[in-house]
Amino acid sequence: MSGTLYIIAAPSGGGKTSLTRALLEREPNIVLSVSYTSRLPRPGEADGVHYHFVSRGVFEEMVKRGEFYEHAVVHGDLKGTARTAVERTLAQGKDVLLEIDWQGARQVRAQTKDTVGIFILPPSRTELERRLRSRAQDSEGVIRRRLADSREDIAHAVEFDYIVVNDDFATALSDLRSIVTTRQLRADNQRERYAALLADLLKD
């Protein structure tokens, strides 16, 4: 049985990273796909953990070789998901989580129809701006650009299967886990998982 491909997207400052980390801690069968990016690491970020940090030239060469499952320009930087790692993990029966933007999500859905897309919304624009400023990592110009870009990001929320509002963290995390549970209980998954049980129950 192949794994499920989860896609989680949000505007910058929506709380996507914190929620996905908490989800992964509680759902050990889900593996995070570490994306590649051409931007420089932020304070506290480690190569191979938060992102694979490469130069723009290296990234563009990888694109030419068709090594990405999806890739996009996000806030002026290149980001993408390596194809081989995702497909290998899914084939092993493990679920994979892609933490990407709406552009990447659209590319993935065009290639793989059986995905679960989740969009994280902030509770308000005021809270979104507060979260961006509380990072104390970006310049005023970057913050303004991210706030402006958030409108287009949010406009694509309707393309996803589920929308979760990250107002109360515990509630939002519970909603994410409910989505995972719902997926696991789908009849096609359960038929394969419990084939022996079903066969036994159907005996004359």
* Distance in angstroms (rounded) separating the CA atoms of residues 156 and 146: 16
* SS3 state of residue 117: strand
36-37 vs 77-82, strand pairing mode: antiparallel
Name residue, tokens 């990072």.
Answer: 135
Using the Cα atoms of residue 19, residue 25, residue 31 and residue 37 in order, give the sign of their dihedral. positive
Structure tokens at 99: 């933490």
Per-residue pLDDT reduced to its tens digit, 163-196: 999 999 999 999 999 999 999 998 888 888 899 9
Report which DSSP code applies to 13: T
161: Cα within 13 Å, side-chain hemisphere: 17
Do 102 and 9 contact (CB within 8 A), yes or no? Answer: yes
Per-residue pLDDT reduced to its tens digit, 134-172: 876 778 888 888 888 899 999 999 999 999 999 999 999
Per-residue pLDDT reduced to its tens digit, 28-85: 999 999 999 999 998 889 998 889 999 999 999 999 999 998 998 877 899 999 988 8
Domains in the chain and their CATH numbers? Answer: 5-33+94-201 (3.40.50.300)
Per-residue pLDDT reduced to its tens digit, 107-144: 899 888 789 999 999 999 999 888 888 876 778 888 88
DSSP string, 141-176: HHHHHHHHHHHHHHHTGGGSSEEEE-SSHHHHHHHH
